[in-house]
Amino acid sequence: MARALHEWGDYRDTVTTYLEMITLVPDELRVYLSIGQSYESLGRPADAMAAYTRYLGMEPGADNVDGIRGRIEELVRVIGSDSARSTAP
């Protein structure tokens, strides 16, 4: 259901569904990866980074670890540039 919502572009309901899934199955790795993608689609880089970090903390030897670390690095840059813009006069 959540994946279909994401593909339809309904990212808010997707996040809500994933958060419900996390309460039911907190050890399901794919949920953290997927909610991170949904947060990115909503323009919420800090939340996406937190989800990806949680995913890597649970599965540090994942096959996609390099790709996820790359996403986190990109999100750090985005957060930094957003912060720099918001403090400019």
Backbone angles phi, psi at 32, to 5 degrees: -65, -40
Give the tokens for residue 11. 């990212």
**What mean pLDDT, rounded, does the chain reach?**
83
The answer to whether 82 touches 48, Cβ cutoff 8 Å, is no
Q: Does residue 3 register a pLDDT over 60?
A: no
Specify the pTM: 0.80
CA angle in degrees (0–180, nearest 5) for 15-43-22: 20
Query: Quick check: 6 pLDDT over 60?
Result: no
d(CA 31, CA 17): 10
Kindly state the percentage of the chain with pLDDT values over 90.
46
Binning pLDDT at 50, 70 and 90, where does residue 17 land? confident
Q: Which of 12, 13, 17 is nearest to 42 (CA)?
A: 12
Helix or strand run (H / E) with residue 2: helix 2-7
Residue 68 reports pLDDT greater than 90: yes
Q: 2-87, superfamily in CATH?
A: Tetratricopeptide repeat domain (1.25.40.10)
What pLDDT score was predicted for residue 89?
38
Query: Cα(87)–Cα(14) distance, rounded to whole angstroms?
Result: 32
